[in-house]
Amino acid sequence: MSNNIEVPERPAPLIVRSTETVEDFNPKPGDSCFCASGKTFGRCCGATDFVRPPPYGVFLFENFISPELARELTEYAEQCEGERLMVIDDKQSTPDNIVKVEDERRITERVQLGDRRQEIQDMMGKAFIELAERCYGVKLDWYEAPDLMRYREGGFYIRHADSQNKSEQDNTWHKVIDRDLSMLIYLNDGYEGGELSLYKFNYRIWPRAGAAVLFPSDHRYLHQAEMVKKGVRYALVSWASVQGVPKIASQPPKCAVPVEYKPG
């Protein structure tokens, strides 16, 4: 393989600032890596090494919340009822009317947060605002009120993008919801399975209690919550819309929490 790799002038933008339909992101191992490292994709963000840094755009923070808080929230969630989560129906949905349906591609529960909803929302919002600016240099218009996900034994969510759906007719992707960044905070570990797989990058994250993961919501970061084989997996999840990114909907979703920044 040649070592003469064409290096882009600058890395690909982490935040997609267009609402247009885009071609599938599918770099070959010998292609120049989109992160502008000067290496091939197969030796950089798309490497198959078992142990390696996260690919460009993915940020992983161990012990982002304390073990005590993670354990406390897990114990609280274990006492709460849940409801089956659904997926966006691409055929019935419009940017201003998202229709969700039950689908066997997603076997997950949303935990009803009860009296701790506001506390968890504030914690997630503070984390999202801080990490978006630190990792991507952006400010948020809003973040979605967080969900606490419960994956029981056999639970999973097949590979998907958080903001785009794929057209099988021409292999392109189109934005269906105003999400630019995705964040998870894992509350527990000790179960079997339940890894987070980012397929385009041959990268897998084994959740640890208290860890936070942040990545762009578009199809480059296609991901899957692998099936839980034994035990129960708990994770907080939210999505955010970035300032300056064109919106496809005429107004924020009902679950949006506006973000206000102090002048200066």
Averaged pLDDT, 147-172: 93
Strand order in the sheet with 223-225: 106-107, 156-160, 223-225, 196-198, 203-205
Give the model's pLDDT for residue 5. Answer: 41
Give percent of the chain above pLDDT 70: 92
Task: Give the pLDDT band of residue 7 (cuts 50, 70, 90).
Answer: very low
Cα torsion 143, 224, 236, 213: sign: negative
The pLDDT assigned to 4 comes to 42
Give the whole-angstrom CA distance, residue 188 versus residue 71: 7
- Residue 152 per-residue DSSP state: -
Q: What is the mean pLDDT of residues 25-49?
A: 95
The CA distance from 118 to 188, in Å, is 21
| Token code pair at residue 53 | 């840094």
Q: How confident is the model at residue 59 (pLDDT cuts 50, 70, 90)?
A: very high
In the chain the domains, ranked by start, together with CATH numbers, are 49-258 (2.60.120.620)
- The pLDDT mean for the chain works out to 90
Q: Which of 178, 185, 176 is nearest to 131 (CA)?
A: 185
* Cβ neighbours for 202, distance < 8 A, ≥ 6 positions apart: 46, 47, 48
Higher model confidence: residue 31 or residue 105?
31
Whole-number Cα distances in Å, 8 to 5, 36, 37: 10, 6, 9
